[in-house]
Homo-oligomer: A and B are copies of this chain.
């Protein structure tokens, strides 16, 4: 069995190859649009969501091919959300993964359309008839992804985030915002990975969902901690930006030490929710640790 580092590296390489194959070539018309889609999806990112899909799939013994496709769809949705989030009318950011953001490298219209087209491509992928011989289970994958993306998922979380700038919000409001903004897609990554398996024990799926919920929230708490403590070079994106733009964070609302303690509690909760699965849940445990203990 590989150690975690090797496993993570393997998934990152798998994702790069799979995404490169699935994204239309930059030589295919409309070339600028395809170029922008590839620019923003390939060559970077920690691929945390893909790792979560694969790790959850180990618990339900999901086939690797199916996990690759589903993980690629999730990574496309993530890439699209970053493109739109960075646009001038949203966070107005110029740096992402150490490179110019999509609208800076191309232009705003191309960035808008690249995000739109990536969302569509993700749904095209997971509706491919070759993905799963159980069509009903596959439809459930489409539904999980669509719910995670919508106004009561990621897009809704971004709307609440925008509305919270320069405003006093409470800790429950902050938590609700993050449950949608980053939590929904992370939770969907986990649940979709589990649903790639061929057995659907409701009790197992429920525990995996709880894991996904905890890890999704922990991810954001740690992001806030890092944004406050880290620097731009290490993060690959503009550090301290939340504070500068008067965005409420876990650190600004709880203080640094309480935020760190909260992240640890979420980690414990995530790990104990999958303890019954023993060895097949090893990657889920390692991944939760990785997400909470990372330094960028």
Contact = CB atoms under 8 A, between A and B. Distances in A.
Interface string A137-164: 0111011011101111101101110110
Interface stretch (A26-34, A249-257, A263-271): A26-34
B139 A135 contact: yes
B113 A29 contact: no
A178 to B, nearest CB: 14
22 contacts: A30-B159, A33-B151, A33-B159, A84-B112, A84-B116, A89-B109, A90-B112, A109-B159, A109-B162, A110-B159, A113-B151, A115-B116, A120-B147, A120-B151, A121-B151, A124-B146, A127-B139, A127-B140, A129-B139, A135-B136, A138-B139, A139-B139
Contact of A90 (B30, B33, B109, B160): B109
A70 to B, nearest CB: 14
A190 interface: no
Contacts of A128: 143
A117 interface: yes
Nearest to A153: B120
A220 B135 CA distance: 36
Interface of A: 24, 29-30, 32-34, 37, 84, 87, 89-90, 107-110, 112-113, 115-117, 119-121, 123-124, 127-129, 135-136, 138-140, 142-143, 145-147, 149-153, 155-156, 158-160, 162-163
B150 A120 contact: yes
Contact of A89 (B107, B129, B149): B107
Given A37-B151, A123-B146, 16 more contacts: A24-B152, A32-B159, A33-B151, A109-B159, A113-B155, A116-B116, A116-B119, A117-B150, A120-B153, A120-B155, A121-B151, A124-B150, A127-B140, A127-B142, A135-B139, A139-B142
